[in-house]
Amino acid sequence: MAPEKERCADMGKELEILREHLARHGMNLTRQRVAVVNAFLKTDGHVTAEEIYQQLRDEGSRVGLATVYRTLSLLTDCNLAIPRSFGDGTVRYEKAYGYESHDHMICDSCGSIVEFHSDCVDQLKCELLTQHNFVVDRHRLVLYGICGNCRE
């Protein structure tokens, strides 16, 4: 993951990418969309549309839930957000711009999400792809179990 300082400097870049994407599709970067993007960029980890909506409400913003959903889907379209489903029927979004690809471990007991990046997984993936003559454009690996805290 990129260091904190770099992330802050990049914030404007994300809005710029979204603005260009919207312009190509004849849409505008409205104040409401900017508010959703800024709220999303402030989050860490994996957040639901409802959580962003709630955060905006707490800050006194009157952005509707539908706008939050639409903006997150726009961010996904231009690769600034990645939607993740971890099997509980909820879609969670995480920031994608400037972040290294990673996989997840989910605790079945407390629901905590651990991110990891493994060169081993990358290498195994390479081997399997060669072995099966497969070209991949994305992958998803989620390990389920019980975290250290819950086992204590």
Catalog residues that contact Zn ion under the rule CB under 5 A.
94, 107, 109-110, 112, 115, 147, 150
**Which one, 19 or 84, has the nearer CB to Zn ion?**
84
Distance CA 80, CA 115 (A): 18
**Which one, 34 or 91, has the nearer CB to Zn ion?**
91
Residue of 84, 70, 85, 58 lying closest to 22 (CA atoms): 70
Task: Say which DSSP state 75 is in.
Answer: H
Strand partners, 114: 105
**Which one, 64 or 111, has the nearer CB to Zn ion?**
111
Residue of 35, 41, 34 lying closest to 4 (CA atoms): 41
For the CB of residue 151, give the shortest distance to Zn ion in the complex, in Å: 8
For the CB of residue 74, give the shortest distance to Zn ion in the complex, in Å: 20
For the CB of residue 143, give the shortest distance to Zn ion in the complex, in Å: 13
